[in-house]
Structure formats: C-alpha cells, structure tokens
C-alpha cells in the first residue's frame, strides 16, 4: 500500500574483514521512486549497493524486499526477485559483442521468445546499441558502454535497479542523456536507487535522497530538501 517500502533496510552493517565500513544503515525505497545516495569518495556508497544486491554480505541488520527477508539470500536469487545492479565502471564483457552482453543479462531467463522481444525493445530504447550490436563491447565509447551496462541489467527485468555512478567519466552531454534514460525508466515503472558523486544532478532527479558519511546515513529528505540543505550545499554541491 501507500508508504509501504519496497526495499526496507534496518540497522544494516557491512565489514571487510575486521573493518566495519557501513554502520547501522536505515533506509527505505518506495515503489516507483528514484532515490539518490550521495557521499564523498570512500563513504561506502558502492559497498552499500553491493550489500543490497548481495555481492557483499551484511554483518548485522535486515533487508526486506516486497516484504520478503532477503538478508541471507545470495545475489543470483536477488536478481530473480527483481533487484539488479549496474556496477561502477560498467564492467561490460569487453571481448564479447554488444548483442551477447545483452543476452547475458537475461541468462537466468533462458532464450525464450520473450527474451528476444526484450532484446528488440532494448535496441529500440538504445538505437546506438542496435547499430553496434556486432561490435565488441570494448570498442564502444564510455557513454555507450554505460548504455550497454544498463541495457544488460534491464534484460533481467528488474523491478529495483541499483545504479552505481552511471555518470562517472562521461562528458556533460552524455551525462544528460544517461539521466534522461533514468527518468524514462522511472516512467516505465522501474524503481531506482542511484549512487552518484554528481550530487546536484542526482538530487534534482530524485524523489528522495540520503547522504552517506563514513558509513553512516547523516541526512535524508526529499531531493528538493537536500538540494537546499546548507550542509549538503557546502559539502557536496560546492556552494
């Protein structure tokens, strides 16, 4: 129902060996929202995404998705539940074709007609990928690789898409394009959790946002509230 979190995180902690890098994280992502997570280098943003997608185990706390406790559920099963991550740095398979990269996104779904239809939809959404479908992913520009990484994730039919720094290393015009795509995905009903260093654009796009500092959520609010928050403006918007 309304206000019921799609993803609810309570008291979550994550450690690398003995070193805890996320402490007592509480957050929620409601169905249909874009939620942005901003924070400095090393604050723990990527670690948080990996904990949500199951690539990094939680050491404490609880994570529920659509009311189901997924805290101990492995990453591949979370993909099947609808939580799909686009990793930092794209991580496309550079020696495989664009086409095969997209198909790999649907590997848990087999090669049904439905998958082929989704592939067609992906090429309609990203015409440049259709044009380059026989090229190796490694031959694409950074922006094209980001589109490919997003397309590959979409082939898994996510309900919650976790995006790690999609604008990293891209030129301003391409960043605009990527943010436009994110807006479109929201219109299509996909819920989005967006990690960005590019705080002003990420918060402008967001329904709500969180600020992470040294492994803790220190500020939360609507995108607008965060954009006008004095501390956020000083620390993350360079004002």
Q: How many residues bind ligand ATP (CB under 6 A)?
A: 11
Kindly state the smallest distance separating residue 99's Cβ from ligand ATP, in Å. 30
Q: Rounded CA gap, 117 and 125, in Å?
A: 12
Q: Are 198 and 6 in contact (CB under 8 A)?
A: no
Q: Rule CB under 6 A: which of 124-183 touch ligand ATP?
A: none
How many residues make up the chain in this entry?
A: 239
Compare residues 39 and 223 and give the one whose CB is closer to ligand ATP.
39
**Residue 161: which of 87, 84, 75, 77 has the closest Cα?**
84
String marking each residue 2-41 x if it binds ligand ATP according to CB under 6 A: --------------x----x-----------------x-x
Stretch that binds ligand ATP, among 4-12, 23-31, 45-53, 175-183 (CB under 6 A): 45-53
Compare residues 56 and 101 and give the one whose CB is closer to ligand ATP.
56
Q: According to CB under 6 A, which one of 28, 35, 44, 63 is a site residue for ligand ATP? A: 44
Instruction: Quote the tokens at residue 220.
Output: 């939360």
Compare residues 20 and 100 and give the one whose CB is closer to ligand ATP.
20
CA 105 vs. chain centroid, Å, equals 15
Place of tokens 């190796």: 136
Q: Give 172's contacts (C-beta < 8 A, 6+ positions apart).
A: none
Compare residues 16 and 188 and give the one whose CB is closer to ligand ATP.
16
- Quick one: DSSP state of residue 138? G
- Note whether 43 binds ligand ATP by CB under 6 A: yes
Could you tell me the strand order of the sheet in which 5-16 lies?
Answer: 19-30, 5-16, 60-65, 68-69
Compare residues 128 and 178 and give the one whose CB is closer to ligand ATP.
178
The string of DSSP codes covering 88-117 is TT----TTSBHHHHHHHTTGGG-S-HHHHH
CA 219 vs. chain centroid, Å, equals 20
Q: Rounded CA gap, 193 and 85, in Å?
A: 9
String marking each residue 55-94 x if it binds ligand ATP according to CB under 6 A: ---------------------------------x------
Compare residues 168 and 204 and give the one whose CB is closer to ligand ATP.
168
Stretch that binds ligand ATP, among 23-31, 44-52, 96-104, 228-236 (CB under 6 A): 44-52
Q: Give 189's contacts (C-beta < 8 A, 6+ positions apart).
A: 32
Q: According to CB under 6 A, which one of 36, 46, 51, 146 is a site residue for ligand ATP? A: 46
Q: Rule CB under 6 A: which residues touch ligand ATP?
A: 16, 21, 39, 41-47, 88
């Amino acid at each position: 129902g309304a206000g019921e979190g799609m993803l609810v995180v309570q008291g979550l902690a994550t450690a690398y060996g003995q070193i805890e890098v996320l402490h007592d994280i509480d957050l929620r992502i409601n169905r249909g929202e874009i939620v942005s997570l901003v924070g400095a280098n090393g604050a723990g943003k990527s670690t948080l995404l990996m904990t949500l997608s199951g690539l990094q185990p939680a050491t404490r706390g609880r994570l529920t998705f659509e009311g189901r406790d997924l805290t101990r559920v492995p990453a591949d099963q979370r993909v099947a539940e609808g939580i799909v991550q686009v990793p930092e740095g794209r991580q496309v398979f550079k020696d495989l074709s664009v086409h095969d990269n997209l198909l790999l996104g649907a590997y848990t779904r087999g090669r049904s007609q439905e998958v082929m239809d989704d592939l067609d939809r992906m090429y309609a959404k990203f015409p440049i990928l259709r044009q380059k479908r026989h090229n190796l992913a490694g031959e694409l520009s950074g922006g094209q690789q980001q589109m490919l990484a997003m397309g590959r994730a979409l082939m898994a039919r996510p309900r919650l898409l976790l995006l790690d720094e999609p604008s990293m290393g891209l030129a301003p015009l391409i960043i605009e394009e990527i943010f436009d795509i994110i807006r479109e995905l929201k219109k299509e009903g996909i819920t989005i959790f967006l990690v960005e260093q590019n705080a002003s654009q990420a918060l402008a796009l967001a329904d709500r946002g969180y600020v992470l500092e040294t492994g803790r959520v220190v500020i939360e609010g609507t995108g607008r509230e965060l954009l006008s928050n004095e501390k956020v403006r000083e620390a993350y918007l360079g004002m």
